[in-house]
Amino acid sequence: MCRAQDLLTSWPLRCAPATTTWPSGCWLPWLLSRVGGTLAGGLTHAAEVLARQGADTRGLHLADGSGLSRENRLTARLLVDVLSAQYYRPYALAPARSAADPLALYQNHLNAYAEALPLAGYQEPGAPYHAGRGGTLEDRLTGSGLDVRAKTGTLPGVSALAGYMTAQSGHVLAFAVLMNGPETVSIPALRATQDELLRLLAARY
């Protein structure tokens, strides 16, 4: 078995995002504790990394490494800042093309970070439900013609969606939608509102 330090220093970045988008609630807190000596140290280090990327960390509070704690706090601005940093300073899947402009990398599916995100409306032939590239978005925005690559976040009464979309103008937009309500609120209703918002944004920009 590889040690956490081995993984941190040896994984090519283009391989890492696809593994971290898998269910990670159990091992991410452990990995963070290995990075920072303790879980608290790892969370502090994570916040410092976000700040170095230029993210606005005001209002940020990390309570765990999995995102399952209701004590976690962050803003849509922080998420968009991170998405923007990963778009404009991308790690290319094809090293020889690492000098290419961000839009070309994105359009040609060579931005490692963007390609680790589920692709809305994409149902991979033969893949189990939610296991293909469509992931948790495979049955969303179907037939819309929109290129949306994003990550969901869900708790009872909470639904979030953050990622990239290509507007009708051809511009790539970074977006984040965070929705909170009573635990009895309908998650499908929140998701439907998010999808409608993306359709409006695509038409507007």
Task: Give tens-digit pLDDT for 61-111.
Answer: 999 877 888 999 999 999 999 999 999 987 888 765 555 789 999 999 999
- CB 23, CB 130: distance < 8 Å: no
* For range 165-173, the mean pLDDT: 96
- CB 62, CB 76: distance < 8 Å: no
Residue 27 has pLDDT above 70, yes or no: no
CA angle at 31 for the pair 27 and 34, rounded to the nearest 5°: 145
H or E element at residue 149: strand 148-155
Q: Mean pLDDT, the chain, as a whole number?
A: 85
Indicate whether 181 belongs to any domain.
no
Number of domains into which the chain is organized = 1
Q: Which 8-state DSSP code applies to residue 194?
A: H
Label residue 16 by pLDDT band (50, 70, 90): low
CA-nearest of 79, 165, 80, 82 to 121 is: 165
- CB 164, CB 102: distance < 8 Å: no
pLDDT at 5: 45
Between residues 100 and 15, the one the model is more confident about: 100
pLDDT at 86: 94
Helix/strand/coil percent split, the chain, to 5? 40, 15, 45
Amino acid at residue number 190: L
- CB 167, CB 174: distance < 8 Å: no
The secondary structure of 91-109 as a DSSP string is PBSSGGGTTS-HHHHHHTT
pLDDT at 97: 55
Q: Which two tokens stand for residue 181?
A: 């309500």
pLDDT tens digits for range 118-159: 999 988 787 777 777 888 999 999 999 999 999 999 999 999
Domain region containing 42: 25-74
Indicate whether 57 belongs to any domain.
yes
Indicate whether 202 belongs to any domain.
no
Indicate whether 155 belongs to any domain.
no
Indicate whether 54 belongs to any domain.
yes
3-state secondary structure at position 172: strand
Among 31-35, 51-55, 191-195, the least confident range: 31-35
CA-nearest of 196, 119, 203, 120 to 168 is: 203
Cα distance between residue 93 and residue 183, in whole Å: 40
Cα distance between residue 78 and residue 99, in whole Å: 26
Between residues 201 and 95, the one the model is more confident about: 201
